[in-house]
Amino acid sequence: MADLSVDICNIKFKNPIIPASGVFGYGREYEEFYPLSELGGIATKGTTAKKRTGNLSPRIAETTAGMLNSVGLQNPGVDYFIQHELPYLLTKNTVILANIAGSTPEECAEVAEKLDSTDVHMIELNISCPNVKQGGAAFGTSCTMAEQVTSAVRKATAKPLVVKLSPNVTSITEIAKAVEFAGADAVSLINTLLGMRIDIHTKRPVLKNNVGGLSGAGIFPVAVRMVWQTANAVKIPVIGMGGVTSGEDAIELMMAGASAVQVGMAVFTDPYAPVKIIQQMQNFLEENHISSVKEIIGSVQPW
């Protein structure tokens, strides 16, 4: 059988597939379908310093080839996560990426510092969140803010630090280089694209928050483009995501330069999607006589 294992930040993943933050919770429900040990890793639900109840409903809506959401980082807070969820996850024989977020660099650093004393394998910093000190702008849309929040978290933890980038920017490569300079060990992208739909009968947006994050198959070509650009702009590993629904999609993102792949909305339509994608990747490698998935990373040959 072809070798599906990959190495990121000196951590070995048995395969490159990781359910993305926000779609998999803490894995408890999905364990009813298959052992979590079959996954390369799990990116946990976004964790903040204090408990958050999230945004008002409606906060999820289907759209063509995807979904809009404005859940608002509903989570029980970092202390609850460390006491009740992380011990369970650490028994599952897979890599755990603790996704964290905050309204300020200080809050993000506080969460990272608490996780630093745990056995979590990696920290994934979501910089697509509001920065209340900057008039509600997202950390991830400014090189200066992205660098500041990454630097604050870097000082708070010795854990491998993955920074999750927003696609809602003019130049994804400049943001990637800024967080690399600030100490990120890897980057993950893309997060959701900002979108909006309107109910033409009520004349109201379909989401209470008016706008939300667009995910699903429709954003996949944007993800491929941004992963390729980023992989050619930084020296640190790239974890790709955005509209992945098949093993072929995952292979494509890895050819673009991703060292691993996160799977998001696909698990809502098929809870078995991550394990199916793993098998499809295995089949592709064997059919094409490729001994290791590492051989395909960045193998695209542009015209």
Q: Is 129 a catalytic residue?
A: yes
Tell how far CA 230 is from the center of its chain.
15
Number of domains in the chain: 1
- At residue 128, the pLDDT reads 84
User: Which region among 41-45, 57-61, 128-132, 280-284 has the lowest average model confidence (pLDDT)?
Assistant: 128-132
Q: How many CA atoms lie within 13 A of 115 on its CB side?
A: 37
On whether residue 66 sits in a domain, the answer given is no
The HSE-up count of residue 189 (CA atoms within 13 Å, CB side) is 32
The verdict on residue 63 lying in a domain is no
Is residue 261 classed exposed, middle or buried when 0-12, 13-18 and 19+ CB atoms within 10 A define those classes?
A: buried
* Residue 59 domain-assigned (yes or no): no
Q: How confident is the model at residue 279 (pLDDT cuts 50, 70, 90)?
A: very high
Candidate list 9, 108, 129, 143, residue with the active-site label: 129
Prediction pTM value: 0.97
State phi, psi for 161 to the nearest 5 degrees.
-115, 115
199 within some domain:
no
Torsion region of 112: left, alpha or beta (phi above 0 gives left; psi -120 to 50 gives alpha) = alpha
Residues 17 and 272 sit within 8 Å (Cβ to Cβ): no
**Mean pLDDT over each residue of the chain, to the nearest integer:** 96
Phi/psi for 215 (5° steps) reads -130, 175
Residues paired with residue 69 on neighbouring β-strands, in sequence order: 60, 213
Q: Which position has the higher pLDDT, 136 or 148? A: 148
Q: Looking at residue 131, what is its pLDDT?
A: 63
Query: Does a structural domain hold residue 27?
Result: yes
* Domain membership flag for residue 60: no
Q: Which domain holds residue 82?
A: 6-53+71-194+213-296
Is position 248 within any domain?
Answer: yes
Does residue 1 lie within any of the structural domains? Answer: no
CATH of residue 266:
3.20.20.70
Task: Output the 3-class SS for 148-165.
Answer: HHHHHHHHHCCCCEEEEC
- Stretch 118-125: mean pLDDT: 98
Task: Give 209's pLDDT tier (boundaries 50, 70, 90).
Answer: very high
